[in-house]
Structure 1
Amino acid sequence: MWLMAGVAALVVLSILSISFGVRAVTIDDLLAALSGQNETIEQAAIIKRMPRTALALLIGAALAMAGAAMQAVTRNPIAEPGILGVSNGASLAVVVGIASFGLSDPFGQMAFAISGAAVAAVFVYAVGSLGRGGATPLKLALAGAATSAAFASLISAIMLPRVDLLQTFQSWQVGGVGGAEWPRIAVTAPVLALGALICLLSARGMNSLALGDDMARGLGENVARTRMLAALGAVILAGAATAIAGPIGFVGLVVPHVCRMLIGTDHRWLMPFSAMAGAVLLTASDVIGRVIAPSGEEIQVGIITAIVGAPFFIWIVRRQKVREL
């Protein structure tokens, strides 16, 4: 039932995403644009919105899967690329590449972003593991918040002197899908597919990790390999998504929790279902940002997901009854 509902939501939201904007279009315009008949202004608007819709679907799916994998690897209910500083690590790496090396190639930007995401993930986990109790949810959240703030400060320090790049970067830093283009999507999609495949292949091992390391080893699971593979898939997804759409937060936090409530904790189902639900959430957020904004303007999708995700984050922390240090 939930699968059918998710597919229906994807179809409806994709149509709405293509239909809403500065210039409203009708179903007839949409059908005419798809058939290539007598292009009008409305049909041109539809064609321009199609890559935006495709990017929202891809990025939403990628971030949701990355969040689900991070939560499984760390056994931390509040693990998510934005909260753990992974997204800002990817952002910092891209900014360094652009400012220092004039990096403009999409593959190069993704390579920098994935490397930055990996370094940030390792650093935050290492800092959060210090002290008594190891990597508790609260310590990881605090380490991630502190690391994100430090990375954000470094990003500002690098970009402020670069007036030529500052305006473009500010829009990207908020997180959005408005500048989507088919060539860039074509470059990013295979990388996202690789990260998704790694996470899907690690799904059975994630189920074992949920039982604890000792129990997983008793079941014959190679804990270190499973954790590294799942983390690699999450880092690839988060890094590539950040490179093309900016650091969009809370999708990887909200979606896996909601999906667990609906379908359970088996990661073999949770991963693909989270991908579908993440695509639904981000596309819906993008549509909402266009609908509620003043005419001719839009609210970036990263702002909408933050408005939705911040209260959800507080609720999760209270629900888990995390002890203060």
Structure 2
Amino acid sequence: MTTVDTRAVPEPDAAVVRRPARVRALWLLAALLVLAAVMVASVAFGSRSVAWSDVWAALGGADGTLEEAAATKRIPRTVLAVLVGAALGLAGAVMQGVTRNPLADPGVLGVNMGASLAVVTAVAFFGLTSATGYIWVALAGAAVSAVFVHTVGSFGRGGATPLKLALAGAATSAAFASLVTAVILPRNDVTGSFKLWQIGGVGGASFDRIGQVLPFLAVGFAVCLLSARGLNSLALGDELAAGLGERVAVVRATAALGSVILCGASTAIAGPIGFVGLVVPHACRLLAGVDHRWLLPFSALLGGSLLTAADVVGRVVARPAEIDVGIVTALLGAPFFIYIVRRQKVRAL
């Protein structure tokens, strides 16, 4: 009689176990409910507490009382937080899928800071004032930064490994941050307007600004979501994906383009907010598994919830002042990043 050493059989990782469609659908519904609750909380809570009756009145367009006016001003801020959080969460999931890198994130890979440097340079030296121009310049900066980091991370033996990409992204992000400071400091005329934007936040949102960036975000969302099936093939490896009929280079370039559009547009309107794209996809894999057809919508929903919740926390803990949402997400994301780096089993996705 033979025996099997069960210790030699690895336990399945919770992140790669296939989830039944019914379970995923229930989690998706729960994510929608969480997002709705966080949006209501964002309108209700801040430096001035607003009653639920005033929230509903503000949603109906009333702004007669101070409470209703406060709630009315918070509505576009809430919408912007949801859009930017969804964009960053989705972009992070796509970047991790494209590079098969668990450390990939718009902030970690220097994409957001590249967009920031491009915008600051255009404003300081070329007199850029158009809101749409901000977005186009940010997209160009994000794209150049992404290509640069991937090129540097590909040098040496083994190609673009997760650790090399993370190191290249961190170094590039630090260098770009220094250049942004070098550009801003001598220019007193732009220092004030970019001081808070550098940190990242959604304060001062308006529906006019949202309307200007919405077409770019819509294109980015569409491109990323349509890349889901191709990302599933890339997860099997380039050779096997090509054997299944996928044009690997086209799939990777298209998905990367969608994530760059989302990163650039988000940075142009809200500044370089970090770590949302890192934390959210890992959390979503625990709920939805690794199928990108489910993972990407989950990442968008939870990304919007996370950034909106972080904005509420920043407004509540420092009343009557507020902590910018970029600081709150950094406090949350930095320990998580260290945890991911220290997990020896996480080499690639």
Q: TM-score, normalised by structure 1?
A: 0.97
Query: What do residues 219-276 of structure 1 show as CA deviations (whole Å, max 9, x unaligned)?
Result: 0000000000000000000000000000000000000011011110111111111000
Matched, 1:224 2:246: no
2:101 matches 1:76 = yes
* 2:32 is the alignment partner of 1:10: no
Are 1:202 and 2:227 an aligned pair? yes
CA displacement 1:156-201 (0-9 Å, x = unmatched): 1111011121122110010000121110101111110100100111
Q: Is the 8 A contact 1:33 1:39 kept in 2?
A: no
Q: Does 1:25 align with 2:54?
A: no
Alignment partner of 1:146: what SS?
helix
The one-letter amino acid paired with 1:310 is: A
| 1:273 has 2:309 as partner | no
1:39 pairs with 2:64: yes
| Alpha-carbon displacement from aligned partner over 1:15-45 (angstroms, at most 9, x marks no partner) | 1101112221101111222334571111111
Pairing 1:225-304 to 2, within 5 Å after superposition: 225-293=250-318, 295-304=319-328
Quick one: structure 1 residues 143 and 37, their matched pair in 2 at CA, closer, same or farther if it must change by over 3 Å? closer
Gaps of 5+ in 2: 1-25
Secondary structure, counterpart of 1:168 in structure 2 = helix
In 2, the alpha carbon distance for the partners of 1:319 and 1:165 equals 42
Identity %: 64
Runs of 4+ in 1 over 4 A off after TM superposition: none
Deviations 1:91-119 (A, max 9, x none): 00000111112112111100000000000
Distance 1:32 1:228 in 2: 46
The answer on whether the counterparts of 1:60 and 1:283 sit within 8 Å (CA) in structure 2 is yes
Tell me, what secondary structure is at the counterpart of 1:39? coil
CA distances 1:280-310 after superposition (whole Å, capped 9, x unpaired):
10001001111111x2100110111111111
2: CA distance, partners of 1:247 / 1:129: 25
Count of aligned pairs between the two proteins? 322
* SS class of match (2:143): helix
Correspondence list, 1:95-114, <5 A: 95-114=120-139
For structure 1, list consecutive stretches of 5 or more residues without a partner in the other structure: none
* Distance (Å, rounded) in 1 between the aligned partners of 2:298 and 2:129: 34
Amino acid across the alignment from 1:236: I
Does the 8 A contact of 2:115 with 2:138 survive in 1?
yes
2:221, 2:332 → 1: CA distance? 25
Indicate if the aligned counterparts of 1:138 and 1:322 stay in contact, CA closer than 8 A: no
Query: Given the alignment of the two structures, is residue 151 of structure 1 paired with residue 162 of structure 2, yes or no?
Result: no
Counterpart Cα distance in 2 of 1:263 and 1:139: 28
Residue 11 (structure 1) shift: 1.2
Q: Distance in 2 between matches of 1:320 and 1:239?
A: 32
The CA distance in 2 between the partners of 1:130 and 1:38, in whole Å, is 58
Q: Deviations over 1:43-71 (max 9, x none)?
A: 11111111100000000000011101111
| 1:85 matches 2:119 | no
For 1:319, the equivalent position in structure 2 comes to 343
Cα drift, residue 321 of structure 1: 4.7
**Whole-Å separation in 1 of the counterparts to 2:149 and 2:286:** 28
From the superposition, tell whether residues 220 and 258 of structure 1 become closer, same or farther in structure 2 (CA, over 3 Å). same
Distance in structure 2 (CA, Å) of the matches to 1:311 and 1:278 = 18
Q: In structure 2, what is the Cα distance between the partners aligned to 1:25 and 1:261?
A: 35
* Alignment partners' CA distance in 2, 1:204 and 1:94: 34
CA contact (8 A) 1:71 1:79 kept: yes
With normalisation by structure 2, the TM-score equals 0.90
Whether contact under 8 Å (1:114, 1:238) holds in the other structure is yes
